[in-house]
Each structure stands twice: as C-alpha cells, then as structure tokens.
C-alpha cells in the first residue's frame, strides 16, 4: 500500500514538472519578444563621497570580459555551481527533481537546484527578501535573460556581480585577495575563490581558512569528476600554500564596507527608488562619506583598540545636519559583516545621564545643586529596594554638586535626580530628542540599563551638539539615474526641541569629565585623555559589565564609539581606556586645521559664568579648585547664597 502511494506521488510530481517544462518553453517564446534587459548596467550602483568622487560601484565597476577571467576560475564555478549550465535553458529540471526527491525523503532541505542564471537574476535585484512575489520575478527574469543572451554573456555577468566576501565581482576579488587580475589566477587561487559565494561569511579564507580549505577540496573534487582537471592537479592545488594580500590596494576596505552596507540599507527605505535597477540601467548614490574622517576612524581603531578579540562600532557625524561622515560596524568586515553601529542594541550606561541632567536643569537644577553621595538603598512600594553602586565603590560621603556628579559619573546622584524629577521625566526627554523606544519607569534607567541603538544615540547627542535641534542621522544626500535625473534628494528638517540656554549650560558641564579642578576624592572619568586635548569638548563615557561607550562633541563634530562582545562577555578597565583614546584621537586629528576657539559655542546673553568650587558648588575661594561653570542669570551662586538644599520627596514607583 505504501509503495503504491509513493509511486502515485512521483507520477503526480513528474506530471507537474512536465507541465512546467511545457509552460516554460511557452514563456520562453513570449520572453523573446520582450525588450532586452541591459545586464551590464543592471544593478549598477555607483557610490560617491562627500566630495562627489566615486569611491565604489556595484555590478559594473571593474567589469571584465569572460576571456579575461582565468579558465580555472570559470571551470571551478561551473563545476560546483551548475555543471549543466551550457545544456539547460535557465532551469536544470533533472537537478530540481533530484533535489526534491532527496529533500522529501529526508524531511529536510539538504539540496538546492538554483542555476547560475537564476543566481544571476538575484544579483540584479536590490531586495533579497524571501517572498513568493520575488521568487516569481526571479523566475521570469531567468527566462528573459536566457532568451536574449548567450551562455557566455550570462556567465560573464554572473562572475562580475557575485559576492566574494564583501568584494563584488571576480576582478575586484582577485585584486583584493591575491593582488592580481582575474586572468592570472592559478588553480589553487581560483578554487579557493570559487568557494566563497556559497556563503561569504563562512567560506572566505580571511574569515575561516579551515572551512575555506574544506570547500576548496569539494570544488577540486567536482572538477576532477567533471573532467576539468586530473586528480594530481587537484592534489597539487590543494597542497599549494596561498598568500593573501588582504586588500593591499585599498587601505579603507577593512571597515568602509560597513558604511556601504548602511547606505544600501537606507536606499531600500526610499520609496522613490525602484526595488529593481533593471528599468533604470543603474543609479548614482551621493553619500555623506568623508574619506578623511573614514581614514582617521579606521587608523584610530587599529592603533587604539588593542584587544584583538573585542568588537567595535564607531560613527563620525556632522551634528549640524545629521550627515554621517564615517562609520564602522566591526573590527574587520571580512570576518563579520554584522553592522553593530546600525543594527545592534546595547546597554548605554552612563552615556544616558546627560539627558537626565538636561531635564534636571530644565526643572530648576543648576550646576551647584547638591545631593549626598553615599551608599544608598532606595525603597519603593511592594517592599522593593534598589541599591546602585558607584564605579570602584567611590563615594564622597557628603553633598556633591551636579557638576561633580557629572565629572565622576556618580550613580547615587543620578538615581536621586531621577526620583526627584519623577519617573516620566527622563523618558519624555529621550522621546523629545528622537529615541522612540518605550522605556519602563525603573530607577535603573537613569544609569543606562536599557539597550539603545547607536544611530538613535547619535541623533540624541546631536541635539546637544547643535544647541537644541532634533535631526535625523543619514547616509544618502541624493540619488540620480545615470543621466543625472534626480530620483531622490534628502532635505534635513531640524526641529527645535531643547532650550539653547539650557543646552549651553549642560555642554559646559560635560567639560568637567576631564577637568583637573575636579581631582579630589575621585578623578574625572575622562581625565586620562585631557593631555591630548587642544580644544574644548563636551564628552561623556559609560561603562556597564558588557559595554564601553563614549560620545563627545563640539559644534563641528560628533563622535560615538562602542566596544564589547557579541556574546556579552564582560569588558575590562583597559577596554574602557582604549575607547577614550580612540575618541580623542579622532576628534583631534579631524579638527586639527580648525582654530580651537571657532569650534566651541558662544555664551548666550542670559547665561552667566561663575567660578565655583568643584565639590560643594559654592563660589570658589580656592583658585586650584575653581572651575567656571554657567547659570541662567539670577540662579548663579553668590557668597551670600547657598546651593539648593537636599530634599528628596518620597517617590513610589508603580509595580
């Protein structure tokens, strides 16, 4: 009975496939009369930097004819990807039947049956979503391509567009991995490269050479089986020692691909750009990439982040308009394509405190407002308690000013401030500056226990750096077709969400994090890099058990950096020190040609500066401890006026 059912099933299966074969040839004849698709320009995207200089392209950049590609590479690709490429008409029906039978009998998807033409049709699309609509389009494209182009033309297009581990096209890949052109690749080099496209993040030899060699062995064996080479040639190629150049012709390629990926992700969100480039024959994308900033970012990362195992995300931005000038989403794009700058959500720690303190200033606090810094257990309704700790368990054991709390990143002061203001105050400010996440009203929020994406944090910090305007961080300024017709142009729409005077006071407070006047029972959190500073910055670092962050700026530049581990392993003190050095090195080198006085903010007319004592917040009588901080006129301390009395109302959080 079971045999009969199985036989009936395969008869139905064969009948369905015969129907599709007949339907295919009908569609093939129809496709013959449709317009010819421009495959050399299709999916051709050209990325320009801030100076309108082409810095990378898509399918059409460094396009090489099939005659100028190593025959070993061509044979290796055909052998492992589609051995019947020159015999079928776009779909290998026998291979499809075999794959279906294996997958059905095993109950799992063990084999695929995509041909080179099918894979090439995928490369012509920007959108790689696994939807039925896209699969139907892909099948129709396959038929159209087969009806209009020779096999050699299709193979040439495929090899010029596939992904070799973040490097697109065989000519670019040959230059990147071996510093030679595609025609000069030998069998050993060709067979290692031919293995990458199956899974670039796994089979790139720069990611995992052991797995790449296993894949190379499969390819060489298939070439022997398909009579392209002899067994002795395969053995010699496998044993051949390969020397990888790792992109010696492009110093930026290690990290700049993260920027390119972010550009392409943003492109997908623009409704006015077609999801397929086939109708346009290519587009030009004008990005905000500042080559100088990207070079500095990468150089500083390589020099300062000495822990080779830790991961990294960094972003350089013009805070006046939201242009992202440089970016890295990891240490090395060849080893991991995951963009931690745009996709990861991490605990932000004390880098959230400036927004808490903006709210405090807006609600009557001044730089002199004091709370007691001591070990404290906070009690709430339902017998709940919360006992935050300061870094290294350092406490003043008495009242400290808001200025000192910022300098030392005092957690007790932060929680007291949060409770004083009320549970909605900080979430309201975060929403105002563009952080859209819904936050739970917990006291740990004041210490940055929530996870937030770096892009949103950069947008929020920009509102401090540009004196109160909410802006959207962005990568693409304009998109045109190949004739220069504008398809899209971004017009920043800054929205005034913060008070300029209050922002100025806060920005001045954020200079205490490296001020020598605050060396007392504790040391300012960023004092270690103060000797490198030639100008004024507002800066705040943050450390959790698993994350190191720093955000800092003046009116010309905003830089944010994160380091940590993808698996949330603990970070250490040295990692925190390294990230600060990377930040200051970027700021100083990028701004070296600007006068220091031109990069800071003008004091508003109704704001006044007063020299205060760093700890007490009272008017200073010791010049060594005196630091000029700023107040709204009428709120500044005088010799006869004390700071705000400490008074924390009983605050109960809802369960």
Q: Is residue 26 part of a domain?
A: no
CATH number of the CATH domain containing 365: 3.40.710.10
Is 55 within the bounds of a domain? no
CATH code of the domain covering residue 108: 1.10.3810.10
Which pair of tokens denotes residue 121? 């049709």
pLDDT of residue 91: 63
- Comparing 87-101, 106-120, 639-653, the range with the smallest average pLDDT is 639-653
Residues 6+ apart with CB under 8 A from 360: 369, 402, 417, 420, 421
Same domain, yes or no, for 229 and 309? no
| 641 within domain boundaries | no
pLDDT exceeds 60 at position 391? yes
Phi-psi category of residue 169: left, alpha or beta, with phi > 0 → left and psi -120 to 50 → alpha: left
pLDDT in tens, 161-201: 888 887 788 998 999 899 999 999 999 999 999 999 988 87
648 confidence band (pLDDT: 50, 70, 90): very low
> Tokens representing 141?
């494209």
Total domains in the chain come to 2
pLDDT digits (tens, 9 = 90+) for 230-259: 999 999 999 999 998 865 444 444 688 899
* Span 509-566, pLDDT tens digits: 999 999 999 999 999 999 999 999 999 999 999 999 999 999 999 999 999 999 999 9
- As a whole number, mean pLDDT of residues 463-480 equals 97
Contacts of 105 (CB under 8 A, 6+ apart): none
Residue 15 lies in a domain: no
Other CB atoms within 10 Å distance of the CB of residue 626: 16
Convert the pLDDT of each residue in 142-172 to its tens digit. 777 877 788 898 899 889 888 888 778 899 8
What domain range is 391 assigned to?
294-605
CB of 247 within 8 A of CB of 215? no
Q: Are residues 300 and 241 in the same domain?
A: no
Residues whose CB falls within 8 Å of the CB of residue 141, separated by 6 or more in sequence, listed in order: 37, 121, 124, 278
> How is residue 204 annotated by DSSP?
-
pLDDT band at 58 (very low <50, low <70, confident <90, very high): low
Give yes or no for residue 286 having a pLDDT over 80.
yes
Give pTM, 2 decimals.
0.80
Q: Where are the beta strands (DSSP E) in 348-466?
A: 370-373, 378-380, 384-386, 398-401, 451-453
% residues pLDDT > 90 (the chain): 62
CA atoms within 13 A on the CB side of 266: 26
- Letter string b/e over residues 9-45, b meaning 16 or more CB atoms within 10 A of that residue's CB: eeeeeeeeeeeeeeebeebeeebeeeeebebebbbbb
pLDDT of residue 93: 55
Give percent of the chain with pLDDT exceeding 70: 84
Question: Does residue 396 fall inside a structural domain?
Answer: yes
Is 45 part of a structural domain of the chain? no
Dihedral sign (CA 645, 646, 649, 653): positive
Tell me: do 436 and 489 sit in the same domain: yes
H/E element, 580: helix 573-590
Q: How far is CA 582 from CA 219, 298, 336, 559, 576, in A?
A: 43, 10, 21, 10, 10
In a domain, 284, yes or no: no
- Return the pLDDT at 340: 97
User: Do 478 and 394 share a structural domain?
Assistant: yes
Task: Answer yes or no: are the C-beta atoms of 191 and 237 closer than 8 Å.
Answer: yes
Residues carrying an active site annotation: 81, 350
pLDDT score of 429 more than 70: yes
Residue 264 lies in a domain: no
In whole angstroms, what is the distance from residue 324 CA to residue 120 CA?
32
Could you tell me if 242 and 304 lie in one domain? no
**Same-domain pairing of 335 and 232:** no
Shared domain check, 469 and 340: yes
């Amino acid at each position: 009975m079971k045999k009969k059912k199985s036989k009936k099933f395969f008869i139905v299966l064969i009948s369905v496939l015969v129907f599709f074969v007949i339907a295919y040839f009908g569609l093939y004849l129809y496709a013959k009369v449709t317009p010819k698709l421009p495959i050399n320009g299709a999916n051709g995207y050209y990325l320009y930097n801030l100076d309108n200089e082409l810095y990378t392209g898509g399918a059409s950049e460094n396009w090489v004819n099939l005659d100028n590609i190593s025959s070993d590479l061509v044979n290796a690709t055909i052998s492992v990807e589609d051995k019947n490429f020159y015999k079928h008409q776009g779909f290998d029906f026998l291979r499809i039947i075999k794959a279906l039978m294996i997958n059905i009998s095993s109950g799992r998807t063990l084999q695929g049956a995509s041909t080179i033409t099918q894979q090439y049709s995928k490369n012509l699309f920007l959108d790689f979503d696994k939807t039925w609509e896209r699969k139907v389009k892909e099948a129709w494209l396959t038929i159209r391509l087969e009806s209009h182009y020779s096999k050699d033309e299709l193979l040439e297009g495929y090899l010029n567009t596939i992904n070799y581990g973040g490097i697109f096209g065989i000519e670019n890949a040959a230059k990147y991995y071996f510093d030679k052109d595609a025609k000069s690749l030998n069998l050993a080099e060709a067979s290692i490269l031919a293995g990458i496209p199956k899974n670039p993040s796994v089979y790139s030899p720069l990611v995992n050479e052991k797995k790449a060699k296993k894949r190379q062995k499969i390819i060489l064996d298939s070439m022997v089986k398909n009579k392209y080479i002899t067994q002795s040639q395969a053995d010699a190629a496998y044993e051949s020692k390969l020397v990888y150049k790792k992109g010696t012709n492009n110093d930026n390629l290690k990290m700049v691909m993260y920027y390119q990926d972010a550009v392409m992700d943003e492109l997908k969100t623009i409704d006015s750009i077609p999801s397929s480039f086939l109708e346009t024959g290519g587009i030009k994308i004008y990005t905000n990439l500042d080559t100088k900033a990207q070079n500095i970012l990468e150089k500083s990362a390589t020099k300062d982040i000495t822990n080779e195992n830790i991961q990294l995300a960094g972003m350089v931005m013009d805070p006046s308009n939201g242009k992202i000038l440089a970016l890295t989403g990891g240490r090395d794009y060849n080893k991991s394509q995951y963009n931690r700058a745009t996709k990861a959500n991490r605990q932000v720690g004390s880098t959230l405190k400036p927004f808490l303190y903006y709210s405090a200033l807006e609600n009557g606090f001044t730089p002199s407002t004091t709370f007691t810094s001591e070990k404290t257990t906070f009690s709430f309704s339902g017998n709940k308690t919360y006992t935050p700790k300061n870094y290294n368990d350092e406490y003043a054991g008495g009242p400290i000013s808001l200025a000192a709390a910022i300098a030392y990143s005092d957690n007790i002061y932060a929680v007291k401030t949060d409770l004083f203001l009320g549970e909605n105050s900080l979430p309201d400010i975060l929403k105002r500056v563009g952080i859209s996440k819904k936050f739970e009203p917990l006291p740990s929020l004041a210490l940055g226990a929530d996870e937030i994406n770096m892009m949103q944090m950069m947008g929020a910090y920009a509102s401090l750096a540009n004196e109160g305007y909410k802006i959207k961080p962005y990568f693409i300024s304009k998109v045109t077709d190949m004739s220069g017709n504008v398809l899209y142009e971004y017009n920043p729409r800054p929205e005034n969400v913060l008070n300029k005077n209050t922002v100025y006071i806060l920005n001045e407070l954020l200079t205490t994090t490296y001020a020598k006047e605050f060396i007392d029972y504790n040391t300012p959190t960023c004092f270690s890099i103060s000797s490198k500073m030639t100008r004024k910055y507002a800066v705040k670092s943050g450390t959790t058990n698993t994350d190191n962050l720093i955000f800092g700026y003046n009116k010309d530049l905003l830089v944010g950096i994160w380091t940590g581990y993808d698996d949330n392993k603990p970070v250490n003190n040295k990692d925190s020190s390294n990230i600060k050095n990377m930040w200051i090195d970027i700021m100083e080198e990028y701004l070296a040609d600007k006068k220091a006085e031109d990069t800071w903010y003008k004091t508003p007319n109704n704001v006044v500066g007063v020299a205060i004592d760093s700890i007490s917040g009272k008017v200073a009588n010791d010049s060594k401890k005196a630091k000029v901080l700023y107040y709204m006129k009428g709120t500044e301390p005088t010799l006869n006026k004390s700071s705000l009395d400490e008074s924390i109302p009983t605050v109960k959080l809802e369960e």
